[in-house]
Amino acid sequence: MVGGMFRFIGRVLRALWRWLDAVRRTVFNLALLLLIGFALALFFQPDPKVPEGAVLVLRPSGSLVEQRLLEEPLALLRSGAGRGGQTVVHDLIEVVRAARDDQRIAALVLETDDLESAGLSKLAELRTAIADFKAAGKPVLARGEHFSQAQYYLASIADEVQLSPDGFVLLRGLARYSSYFRGALDALGIKVHVFRVGEYKSFSEPFTRSDMSDEDRASTRDLLDGLWNHFRTDVAAARKLAPAALDGYITGYRDALAATGGNAAASARNAGLIDAFSTPDEWRTQLVTRFGADESGKDFRQIDAGTYLAVARAARKSGPERIAVLVAQGAIADGEQPPGVVGGDTFARMIREAREDDAVKALVVRIDSPGGSAWASELIRRELELTRKAGKPVVASMSSVAASGGYWIAVGADEIWAAPTTVTGSIGIFAMFPDFSEPLKRLGITFDGVATAPLAGALDPRQPLDPVAAEAMQLGIEHGYRRFLETVAGARNMSVDEVDLVARGRVWTGEAAEGLGLVDHVGGLEAAVVAAAQRAGIERYTLVWPAVGLSPGQLLMQRLLSVTGLEGIAHARADSPLAHLLGRLQADANDLMRWNDPQHLYVHCLCEAP
């Protein structure tokens, strides 16, 4: 009886297992077929065609970046991923440059509603390309439901700017505010010991002060004034306004609204910031009337930037020799790091691979980093120096920010290019050590033990910092600062004292840095690439962009998402102030978790490019 029951249960379990196994194999086979279908789509896509008289449409979305990061596959399944996607700025610049000389392209349309964030220097480089497009006699039109400051800076280069009748143009100026934790740390009994050189090296101040220091305030004021001057000058020139008139709109925004009964769109038109109002359907009708309808007859004749990029690259005549562009984007950390973080070992290996590749004749390092680990920064700089000694030119090109460790990397190049609005400098160094002994004591947790030497347990955050250890750390910081000064002085043909005068942690715009001798030229990536080619003595070349830390599987996934249009699904908009605040706190926490310098010495800048 019992045996029969067990046999019955066994049969049921075996049947259930066969059913589950069949389901598993079915799901696997379906996934495999789907993957094969995607792969076939990669290789058998019809060649895109450019209609005669087409309008090139730029719709940048999310963040404007130097190099796109691949979302984790599971992010596709999460709701509210908190990021609005990424657009590579140089892809847009490339399509605009190609379209300028393409007789099939009649005009360019900018639609900026999905652009969420962008550094001023990146926008300025794109504006320069669009200005060259206009100079070829082709019109540029822009429209937005509303315009944030970054969106309007880009749109203002257009010949005509249109706005929704219910929209607004919100120009607020530039600001930098930091959260200061001294009061909270004191209340918790936590002490943060800071060791630094440079009165302008403000990264550690939020942990030791309750407000901004006079030095940081003065330095930040000068930096923001320099950046804002470029913004207002560029916008005023494009809109044929006096800079004072633009200032009046910004500082007198309340009065401008009062004059129109609160109609923000009318206020923007009265100030000369826009040319006309239009709803989406009216905008589309205008474009159809002006440039003709597409094959469906329902929309204007157009081609999007992604499709046109594929066309332009297929038609581009490339030389057999290569110039490698390595993108150093994000904070600098020691060891192997994923994309979005400049890993010392990861990036050094990429430099070596480019140096040992006979087809690569020159190297351009595109830096968009506020710094980080001093150890990793020096490791990368040394590899660039070895590349130069091997006979391959190295040119550094600074993006929105190349400060502190980012600048340390740059001095490994033969020459340095910066945008006028690049945030750079911040030549200084610091270390921080937390002391949790007091809050642990309040909880009744004590600390005791033995050591074979005075410093054996000195750097344990459970006990007060030993004065001898504190003195040793300060000596190490001062040595690190001298090392930084000597490295810059040797690379820039300056004396250590001359470097010290413009160092001490102070940040500068790229334009100011050129006058101080910290950079060689003001210009964008395109100019830096030309300089590298000239140094290498080559005229025809292919640009290659080695991907940082992407495995073959990740590269395939990136291509699949791009082809199938799934790339943007994981990127939910995060427009609320709370979402932005939480996202910023999470990003800051992630950066702190990556602090892994072997000597605990950091060359990091508390500076963010607006």
Residues carrying an active site annotation: 201, 404
Determine the residue type at 598: P
- What are the respective helix, strand and coil percentages of the chain, to the nearest 5? 45, 20, 35
Half-sphere exposure of 592 (CA within 13 A, CB side): 13
User: Would you state the structure tokens that stand for residue 351, as one six-digit string?
Assistant: 């430099």
Residue 206 CB coordination number (10 Å): 17
> DSSP letters of 422-490?
-EEE---EEEEEEE-HHHHHHTT-------SSTTTTTT-TTSPPPHHHHHHHHHHHHHHHHHHHHHHHH
By the 10 Å C-beta count (0-12 exposed, 13-18 middle, 19+ buried), 543 is classed as middle
Residue 514 CB coordination number (10 Å): 21
Whole-angstrom Cα distance, residue 84 to residue 569? 9
> DSSP letters of 132-179?
HHHHTT--EEEEESSB-HHHHHHHTTSSEEEE-TT--B----------
Task: Look at phi and psi of residue 451 and say left if phi exceeds 0, alpha if psi is from -120 to 50, else beta.
Answer: beta
Half-sphere exposure of 69 (CA within 13 A, CB side): 21
Whole-angstrom Cα distance, residue 606 to residue 201? 8
Integer angstrom CA distances of residue 479 from 83, 245, 274, 484:
41, 50, 55, 9
212 alpha-carbon distance from chain centroid? 26
Q: Please check whether residue 58 is in contact with residue 92, taking contact to mean a CB–CB distance below 8 angstroms.
A: yes
Nearest to 125 by CA among 172, 174, 60, 70: 60
By the 10 Å C-beta count (0-12 exposed, 13-18 middle, 19+ buried), 306 is classed as middle
3 state DSSP class of 241: coil
Whole-angstrom Cα distance, residue 126 to residue 418? 15
606 alpha-carbon distance from chain centroid? 15
Nearest to 404 by CA among 497, 518, 255, 539: 518
Q: Kindly report the backbone phi and psi dihedral angles of residue 498, in degrees, each rounded to the nearest multiple of 5, phi listed first.
A: -65, -40
User: Would you state the structure tokens that stand for residue 104, as one six-digit string?
Assistant: 């099939």
> DSSP letters of 547-566?
-SS--HHHHHHHHHHHHHT-
Q: How would you classify the pairing of strands 541-544 and 423-425?
A: unpaired
Whole-angstrom Cα distance, residue 422 to residue 440? 44
Whole-angstrom Cα distance, residue 220 to residue 507? 8
